[in-house]
Amino acid sequence: MKFKSLVLSALFLFLLTASNCSSSSEVNEAPEVDEVDTTDPVEEGEEVEEEEAIEENYSTMAVPADPGSGLEWEFQDFSDEFDYEAPAGNKGDAFYNKWDDFYHNNWSGPGLTEWSRDIPFVSDGLLQIPAKRKAGTDKISTGCITNKTRVQYPVYVEARAKIMNSVLANGIWMLSPDDTQEIDIMEAYGAAYSESAQASHSWYEVRMHISHHVFIRDPFQDYQPKDAGSWFMKDNIKWREDYHTYGVYWRDPWHLEYYIDGELIRTVSGKDQIDPLFYTNATNPGDTSTDIRTGLNKEMDIIIDVEDQDWRSSPASGNQSDTYTPTDNELSDTEGHTLKVDWIRIYKPVEK
């Protein structure tokens, strides 16, 4: 019996040892089958490459306009992708190297508009221009910025932007220093409804205004095209709902091409379309007896702004139903009343 007990004990110890060895072997093998971690550096690398590609596209993505025979587009370094932080009250060198945070002269804006330097700011990779009520008044406090480098034809200017959900005007445009020649790359009024007019605003929400002006300042006279094509509409797109690209190729004094989302959507060309009233005459502007028109020939400032325009907030009809200005309730939607610009890029055609 004693011998039998010894045999059984030995057998039990053998089985127990084998079981422990098997368990130990399984634990040691676990890191060898855990292969997931080895893929992480590759995935991170791919994300970095994708981010770099997005940044590169800002300056290298194709320009939709044709620069002309034997020419190619050259990126201009006063373009801006707003990849820095510029607080409203202290914007810093990255902003001020390229922009002034005001209009190109001391004018504070049309109608109920009151531009303020401490309104525009750059954050999260976006230029942002909000609008709010100036306390104790009916004024709209908002912003305007002007590029410090003027442009002149031939030039292509394009911006990627998301407009406000508002009856306020959102604009990306160019204006000569003497305020006599203007090119509107885009001008938009994005709201579907106006509380001040107590009426639908849907006609404007699906249209993008693309135009130009030539002015006589004294006495004031203004020509701009008023054909249906100056209010672009496509598939009932509500422009406030997403970012879009807006561009213009100012080829020469008598030729403009407008692009939205990379598509040529309007061409304005020739003296009868650019200045049919002879407002750009070198002398005696408006004198149709002598043709010495210059067309859109002057250097221009690039401007990005928000406006409460007097023709909308103080309409000639005087009717409340024609009065488009934001109410306090509408302005309480800060997100909806902020113009956002992802980037603006400028190109000149040069010889290959």
Per the residue annotation, which of 81, 158, 187, 330 is the catalytic one?
187
| Catalytic residue flag (residue 55) | no
CA nearest to 110, candidates 333, 302, 312, 304: 312
Whose CA is closest to 326, among 217, 124, 105, 165?
165
Of these residues, 182, 257, 307, 330, which one is catalytic? 182
| Strand duo 244-252 + 132-133: pairing | unpaired
Is residue 182 part of the annotated active site? The answer reads yes
| CA pair distance 191, 329, nearest whole angstrom | 14
Q: How many CA atoms lie within 13 A of 34 on its CB side?
A: 7
Instruction: Write out the chain in H/E/C secondary structure.
Output: CHHHHHHHHHHHHHHHHHHHHHHHHHHHHHHHHCCHHHHHHHHHHHHHHHHHHHHHHHHHCCCCCCCCCCEEEEECCCCECCCCCECCCCCCHHHHCCEECCCCCCCCCCCCEEECCCCCEEECCEEEEECEECCCCCCEEECEEEECCCECCCEEEEEEEECCCCCCEEEEEEECCCCCEEEEEEEECCCCEECCCCEECHHHHCCEEEEEEEEEECCEEEECCCCHHHEECCCCCCHHHCCEEEEEEEEECCEEEEEECCEEEEEEECHHHHCCCCCCECCCCCCCCCCCECCCCCCEEEEEEEECCHHHHCCCCCCHHHCCCCCHHHHCCCCCCEEEEEEEEEEEEEEC
Residues identified as active-site: 182, 187
